[in-house]
Amino acid sequence: MQNNFLLEKSMMDFIFKINSMSTILNLFLLIITGFYLFFGFLVVRQVKQLNSSFETDSSEILSLLSYAHFLATLALMVFILISLI
């Protein structure tokens, strides 16, 4: 009984420390950004397929925007990784 109380107390101390909360938040943001990076990759692929299917005047602009979106998401993920260290 005493060991469970000590374990719960040490877990609560770990969870509620400011430093650990920051780490948990950064890990959560890293996971969410990873999903968003995957979404950005899918957008790039879909735009590439769309441009190969249909010839439009704005195909270069759409490709540029999709790559810019992907690179911005990648930069955000790198920034979160650096802040995690």
By residue range, what is the domain housing residue 55? 1-83
Q: What pLDDT does 56 receive?
A: 86
User: Long-range CB contacts (< 8 A, 24+ apart) of 68-74?
Assistant: 69/40, 69/43, 69/44, 70/37, 70/40, 70/41, 70/43, 70/44, 73/33, 73/36, 73/37, 73/40, 74/37, 74/40
For the chain, list residues with pLDDT below 50.
Answer: none
Q: What pLDDT does 55 receive?
A: 83
Q: What pLDDT does 60 receive?
A: 92
7-30 confidence digits (pLDDT tens): 566 666 666 666 677 778 888 888
Q: What pLDDT does 66 receive?
A: 97
Q: What pLDDT does 3 receive?
A: 57
- The domain total for the chain is 1
